[in-house]
Structure 1
Amino acid sequence: MSMDLDELTSQNVTVTTAAKKEQPLNDVPAAIYVITNEQIRRSGVRSIAEALALAPGVQVTKLSEFNWQVSLRGLNETLFNKLLVMVDGRSVFSPLMSGTFWHTIDTILDDIDRIEILRGSAGTMWGGNATNGVINIITKNSNETLGQFFEIAHGQYNYKEADYRYGFQLNDFTTARLSVKGVQSDYYSFNDDEWNNYNVAFRTDYIEDDQFLTFQLGGYHTKSEHSSWYTYDFLEQPLHPLYPDTAIVANPSLLKDYSRGVYSSLNFGKTLDDTQYKGSFWIDNNSRTEPTANGQYSTVNGDLLMIKQLNEQNELTMGIGARYTRLKIPTAKANYYTGMQPYQRLAYERVQREQIYNVFSQLETQLTDKLTSSLGVKVEHFTRNDTTELQPQLRLHYKATDDHQLWTGIGRAVVTPSAVDSTTDMFVLGNAIASIPNCDLSQHPSCVGMYPAMNYTAGNKDMDNESVVTWDAGYRGKITDTFSLDATVFYSEYDNLRMIDDGRWICTYGYCEDGTTLPGGTAIFRNSYSDNLTAQSYGAELALFWQPSEAINFNTSYSFIDTQAECDSRYRTCDTYLNGGYKALYDHQPNHYGSIQMMWTLNPQWQIDWWLKHKGSVSSSLEYYEAPAITTLDLRVAWQQKHSWPLVEFVVDGLGSSTYEDMPNKAPLEETVFMRLSWTTL
């Protein structure tokens, strides 16, 4: 391993996510976990999202061969808006769907230095969306990737991958690298829908004495094709008056989903006497054509930070930041009822603009030789809904000995207001069963027909921001020379969570309450988003590192998470997700998550690694939420004769697993086998 047990439990390990500065992991008064490059490589994963399941508190759901759903500490949703995901401090949050599209950060895994996962409210340092935590993917400095790196892989379901990296020295203080990655595969294991993803990245680093500068530039292009797709044409009148369902014509189609993006970032810093100055500036432009996330957005972001040592006991951190985002989201077309998608999201206004401004401060005080406090607050203003939020936190760290630490803290964080639930509408096609007017029973067996229908969920601009207050406490310690433990308990109170209010039929038999008429006797059921849902979540997280011998390492994590949601009893749809409510969704999620990774180095040439993952069952009177427990085993066997030779890896994902779903009503998954070859030249 690149990090042995002693390093994982000593001050040799530094992290930057907790306080926007380098500090020993043992000095962090919060729940933080570091996934090393070695853990990623020896897990056999093909993506960043899959590797996150190594950490406690993180729930990773595989939706297809290359699509994932990632959440932290419960409230699991398709696109999780309560987690801030960054690459080298650059947010990859998508305002098109208020979450993270994980394929957009498909970098070469060997370029990753580590992944820092901060669990709990981090609003003071990071602001909006850092409500349940922060995932910061930190790539290697270019001076660590000199020379050439090649990687190719091939496996089941038409999986093919080719990666190339070239690192070079510009002068005594400056290095750079260029990385290119391409992946092709079937999107699902059960059909040949095509998936293509290409990523290119450039990074250069300048380091001299007490100053540094990092510049990055990159982009991605993703294309997926889905053959089992239909578009729909609505006829003015049914083809047969006694069979109203003939008013809609289904046209077999091929859905081509394109996702593209480019970005550029600049990070710099300088130390003068007892003060550190840091800054970051990044811009990006992203677009997607998938019907529920169709649109384009551009973001410009700037942050400045100062860390000043006031005296021996006090260190002050102050910062300021601003973000500007411009979105372009489709509006309804003139011939709306021709070539309709089965579901799609449309905007009130095609072009939308929003700004976020923030200022924050945190004081770290050495109260005694063993006790340290951190007190801070961020003030953040969102122009989308013209709100200003306070996000304070208080944390205490007690260092009993160099090997044993205790910590606790409480903080508040908010979710960034989004276009998804405020200024866009969601349309889903379906059917409505109703009596056929003027029907003769002698001509029709029941005089009941199936009419074209649409479920229309309207955005709501008048909602308060989602927020959470979290208290957590933990212990971090080295029990023996071969065993360490990291344990956390937490409790969270959520307010203003999104749900869907009770709706009503605004159009029946093609006639609407505003006097307009629709083709084909179409019916429309209208509801809207609201902020009337609250929730409480509590749990425990455990991480164990055990090194029984120099050749074997075990990395184990376990999480217990329980969430209970509440809403006003007047809302009928609160309990039923099929009708638009979210209470049942939050209440019926697995409570238990476990992971055991074993890394066994047989000799300098051979490695055998396995990774056991477990997700608890869900019992419910609602059949939609019933889910069995899922346990999978991944196996990796690797051989490398010597460092100058290629590394050959044989990987089985889900060894021996029969067909299963990682979440109810999602795509079936199966055992996947592939081989990977990689080699480095200096």
Structure 2
Amino acid sequence: MSMDLDDLTTQSVTVTTAAKKEQSLSDVPAAIYVITNEQIKRSGVRSIAEALALAPGVQVTKISEFNWQVSLRGLNEALFNKLLVMVDGRSVFSPLMSGTFWHTIDAILDDIDRIEILRGSAGTMWGGNATNGVINIITKNSNETLGQFLEVAAGEYNYKEVSYRNGFQINDVTTARLSMKGVQSDYYTFNDDEWNSYNISFRTDYVEDDRFLTFQIGGYHTKSEHSDWYRYDILDTPLNPNDPMSAIVGYKAGLDDFSRGFYSNLNLGKTVDDTHYEATLWIDSNSRTEPSANGEYDTLNTDVLAIKQINPSNELTLGLGARYTKIKVPEKKADFYLGMDPYHRTSSRQTEREQIYNVFSQLETQLTDKFTSSLGVKVEHFTRNNTTEIQPQARLLYRASDDHQFWSGVGRAVVTPSSVDSTTDLYRLGSVVAPLPNCDASTQNCYAQYPMLALTAANPDMDNESVVTWDAGYRGKLSDTLSIDTTIFLSHYENLRMLDNGLWFCRYGECVDGSTQPGQLAVHEFKLVDAIDAQSYGAELSLFWQPTDNININTSYSYIDTQAECSSEYMTCNSYDNGGYKVLYNLQPKHYVSLQMMWAINSQWQIDGWLKHKSSVSSSLDFYHPPAITTMDVRVAWQYNQDWPLVEFVVDGLGSSTYEDLPNKAPLEEVAFLRFSWTKL
């Protein structure tokens, strides 16, 4: 149960995300980190999202026990759209907001081979959304998972989990596996709202010397129950000067939030002489009922790729792709003001169809024995807003020796335009204090509270968000027991989103377009605008140290500083309450630390610890002072021999009192669970 440094060090890992081909990480002129299966297992996590905090540059915010917000290199926000997330090369983004709903991405953790995290602009190879980086979750080939695997777990807050996998041989060159996983738990630690998640997947692999084929199919179903959920009726009643809010009637209704999805992925490759060809076809169909993301989303994607060795010094990669998406978002109902959620997303167009087309090339040149260059460009067209974007990159690698490499690069990438930006509106119910009509201020109190609708309106005329990033780094094996990887970066963002100053579209139920609203409703309408530019810079460090044969220590540190600016015409720019994303971007933790220790005491016992820290935020705002957060996760594992079950006891947040991962997120606290797993070959 002990490990060698070579199992973890960046010097010996093979990656595919950087150039869409297998290569040693030491040959990659970019910032990349690999989370191995052993690191995932020894961290004691229950989900993929939690494991990402092992990597430098990644910020993982826990929203609930089984929901997360993940960002890369700052600009942390709920609908983070500057990170491309893939599972075996299949994008798992939501066409609604060009981001990722992490609670829908799950798998048996033992099925995962590694997670590759490419930091920095990767638009040339991967296109839209690869602005701050790429996370590629790579599962094991089915020939590595033959036999049966069973895992059960149980713990605090009604946590229960069962996973089963059966891997089998079809013939000499073909294998397959079927995996199933189910989770039940409380959604929060502070109430009994229930969480359910179920997924099933099938994978088969055909591998010969010069060709391969992988086919995957699967689906998921999640449900979270929220008992403390209210709906409201806004009644068309005469004004009651003593209680204008009497026109809005609330009642406890509860909410069941469903997410369902189905996917299929076909990937095949063949090598002919000095050229390697690959083709990928995947489909994804998913739906969600949560009020701010309700809708149905269907995507068909196809990519083809050719990698040709032109001569001993030059390798050319050519590719093209197309994506077709159908989005169906509920239209505004005729009885809109009855049974209103506290917030809800609607659209003037119930069904949308869009396409994305791209073509790219990259030339890798061995300049000398020590220098390698990489030049590439992607041209991508988005039919949603009829724009064409050019995403180039240039990179240089210097191999000082087999154990020491220096690299630098610059690239541009864009964010895929989304439905949230351009065609859907979000309302939130609230209230506003306003003077009573025809009130004599000298004789009575003229102010009362009225119902209000805050509307965030889409804007189809915005330019695409983009970033240009320069970064440089060094990676090296300093000794037989110590490996290091360092990066510095500078990014410039344009056309980031925020809300404009807004206008009072309706007052006392009378609207500027001549229409009327029930209950003397006030409507304040904001519009999304592309008014923010930002600059972000920082440094990232990862260390792999093996002080003894049976102890491995993996450490990562990130420093990230963001400075945003926006047009002076928008008063809301600096107001956090009114959508001032400048404040949101600037006031984020700057320091992140992860320290994982893996100790194999003997052939039967393991003790592992994972320390996580994020720094506090200094702010002049009275209501926004995120404190520093430090947590420790502990895992103790025992296995008599390989034929016996592996027994794990895990404590997440050992000794932690109640805290919030970021302000206005759910309260979190210490959680303990027990896990058993069996493998039979």
Per the alignment, residue 662 of structure 2 pairs with 663
| Contact 2:267-2:278 at 8 Å conserved across structures | yes
| Contact 2:343-2:426 at 8 Å conserved across structures | yes
Per the alignment, residue 515 of structure 2 pairs with 516
- Do structure 1's residue 486 and structure 2's residue 524 form an aligned pair? no
For 1:574, what is the secondary structure of its paired residue?
helix
| Contact 1:85-1:100 at 8 Å conserved across structures | yes
- Do structure 1's residue 632 and structure 2's residue 631 form an aligned pair? yes
Residues 392-421 of structure 1: CA deviation (Å, up to 9, x unaligned): 000000000000000000000000000101
| Contact 2:276-2:308 at 8 Å conserved across structures | yes
Find the aligned partners of 2:2 and 2:225 in 1 and give their Cα distance.
40
Per the alignment, residue 606 of structure 1 pairs with 605
| Contact 1:324-1:354 at 8 Å conserved across structures | yes
For 1:130, what is the secondary structure of its paired residue?
coil
Per the alignment, residue 566 of structure 1 pairs with 565
- In the TM superposition, residue 98 of structure 1 has moved relative to its aligned partner by 2.6
Q: Point out the more displaced range, 240-249 or 475-484.
A: 240-249
Per the alignment, residue 273 of structure 1 pairs with 273
Q: Point out the more displaced range, 314-323 or 231-240.
A: 231-240
For 1:413, what is the secondary structure of its paired residue?
strand
Find the aligned partners of 1:399 and 1:460 in 2 and give their Cα distance.
48
Per the alignment, residue 218 of structure 1 pairs with 218
| Contact 1:96-1:296 at 8 Å conserved across structures | no
- In the TM superposition, residue 153 of structure 1 has moved relative to its aligned partner by 0.4
Find the aligned partners of 2:79 and 2:176 in 1 and give their Cα distance.
34
Per the alignment, residue 528 of structure 1 pairs with 527
Per the alignment, residue 365 of structure 2 pairs with 365
Per the alignment, residue 462 of structure 1 pairs with 461
Find the aligned partners of 2:75 and 2:624 in 1 and give their Cα distance.
14
Per the alignment, residue 394 of structure 1 pairs with 394
- In the TM superposition, residue 366 of structure 1 has moved relative to its aligned partner by 0.3
Residues 268-305 of structure 1: CA deviation (Å, up to 9, x unaligned): 00111111001100001000000000000100000000
Per the alignment, residue 428 of structure 1 pairs with 428
| Contact 1:238-1:245 at 8 Å conserved across structures | no
| Contact 1:3-1:36 at 8 Å conserved across structures | no
| Contact 2:2-2:549 at 8 Å conserved across structures | no
Per the alignment, residue 190 of structure 2 pairs with 190
- Do structure 1's residue 331 and structure 2's residue 314 form an aligned pair? no
Find the aligned partners of 1:557 and 1:177 in 2 and give their Cα distance.
34
| Contact 1:647-1:679 at 8 Å conserved across structures | yes
Q: Point out the more displaced range, 431-440 or 14-23.
A: 431-440
- In the TM superposition, residue 222 of structure 1 has moved relative to its aligned partner by 0.5
Find the aligned partners of 2:2 and 2:144 in 1 and give their Cα distance.
13
Q: How many residues align?
A: 681
- In the TM superposition, residue 516 of structure 1 has moved relative to its aligned partner by 0.8
| Contact 2:239-2:520 at 8 Å conserved across structures | no
Find the aligned partners of 1:456 and 1:233 in 2 and give their Cα distance.
17
Per the alignment, residue 588 of structure 1 pairs with 587
For 1:577, what is the secondary structure of its paired residue?
coil
| Contact 1:9-1:477 at 8 Å conserved across structures | no
- In the TM superposition, residue 534 of structure 1 has moved relative to its aligned partner by 0.3
- Do structure 1's residue 172 and structure 2's residue 172 form an aligned pair? yes
- In the TM superposition, residue 106 of structure 1 has moved relative to its aligned partner by 0.7
| Contact 1:600-1:607 at 8 Å conserved across structures | yes
- In the TM superposition, residue 665 of structure 1 has moved relative to its aligned partner by 1.3
Find the aligned partners of 1:394 and 1:403 in 2 and give their Cα distance.
23
Distance 1:647 1:9, change over 3 A: closer
Identity between Structure 1 and Structure 2 (%): 73
Distance 1:155 1:459, change over 3 A: same
Find the aligned partners of 2:615 and 2:148 in 1 and give their Cα distance.
43
For 2:326, what is the secondary structure of its paired residue?
strand
- In the TM superposition, residue 239 of structure 1 has moved relative to its aligned partner by 7.6
Find the aligned partners of 2:213 and 2:450 in 1 and give their Cα distance.
62
Find the aligned partners of 1:473 and 1:440 in 2 and give their Cα distance.
68
- In the TM superposition, residue 439 of structure 1 has moved relative to its aligned partner by 4.3
Distance 1:10 1:233, change over 3 A: closer
Find the aligned partners of 1:465 and 1:153 in 2 and give their Cα distance.
45
| Contact 1:263-1:283 at 8 Å conserved across structures | yes
| Contact 2:2-2:600 at 8 Å conserved across structures | no
| Contact 2:181-2:199 at 8 Å conserved across structures | yes
Q: Which runs of 5+ in 2 are unaligned?
A: none
Find the aligned partners of 1:183 and 1:8 in 2 and give their Cα distance.
30
Find the aligned partners of 1:194 and 1:97 in 2 and give their Cα distance.
26
For 1:49, what is the secondary structure of its paired residue?
helix
For 1:170, what is the secondary structure of its paired residue?
strand
| Contact 1:227-1:255 at 8 Å conserved across structures | yes
RMSD of aligned Cα (Å): 1.2
Per the alignment, residue 52 of structure 1 pairs with 52
Correspondences of 1:34-45 after superposition (within 5 Å): 34-45=34-45
Specify the code of the residue in structure 2 equivalent to 1:83.
L
Find the aligned partners of 1:197 and 1:452 in 2 and give their Cα distance.
37
Find the aligned partners of 1:227 and 1:392 in 2 and give their Cα distance.
50
Q: Which runs of 5+ in 1 are unaligned?
A: none
- Do structure 1's residue 155 and structure 2's residue 155 form an aligned pair? yes
For 1:623, what is the secondary structure of its paired residue?
coil
- In the TM superposition, residue 437 of structure 1 has moved relative to its aligned partner by 1.6
Specify the code of the residue in structure 2 equivalent to 1:586.
Y
Per the alignment, residue 134 of structure 2 pairs with 134
Find the aligned partners of 2:85 and 2:3 in 1 and give their Cα distance.
24
Find the aligned partners of 2:10 and 2:149 in 1 and give their Cα distance.
31
For 2:515, what is the secondary structure of its paired residue?
coil
Correspondences of 1:396-411 after superposition (within 5 Å): 396-411=396-411
- Do structure 1's residue 355 and structure 2's residue 341 form an aligned pair? no
Residues 168-210 of structure 1: CA deviation (Å, up to 9, x unaligned): 0000000000000000000000000010000100000000111
- In the TM superposition, residue 10 of structure 1 has moved relative to its aligned partner by 6.7
| Contact 2:10-2:34 at 8 Å conserved across structures | no
Find the aligned partners of 1:651 and 1:239 in 2 and give their Cα distance.
59
Per the alignment, residue 20 of structure 2 pairs with 20
Per the alignment, residue 419 of structure 2 pairs with 419
For 1:520, what is the secondary structure of its paired residue?
helix
Specify the code of the residue in structure 2 equivalent to 1:88.
D
- Do structure 1's residue 448 and structure 2's residue 447 form an aligned pair? yes
Per the alignment, residue 501 of structure 1 pairs with 500
Find the aligned partners of 2:300 and 2:661 in 1 and give their Cα distance.
36
Find the aligned partners of 2:317 and 2:297 in 1 and give their Cα distance.
32
For 2:190, what is the secondary structure of its paired residue?
coil
Per the alignment, residue 204 of structure 2 pairs with 204
Find the aligned partners of 2:541 and 2:10 in 1 and give their Cα distance.
18
For 2:26, what is the secondary structure of its paired residue?
helix
| Contact 1:57-1:119 at 8 Å conserved across structures | yes
Find the aligned partners of 1:330 and 1:81 in 2 and give their Cα distance.
22
| Contact 1:242-1:436 at 8 Å conserved across structures | no
For 2:228, what is the secondary structure of its paired residue?
strand
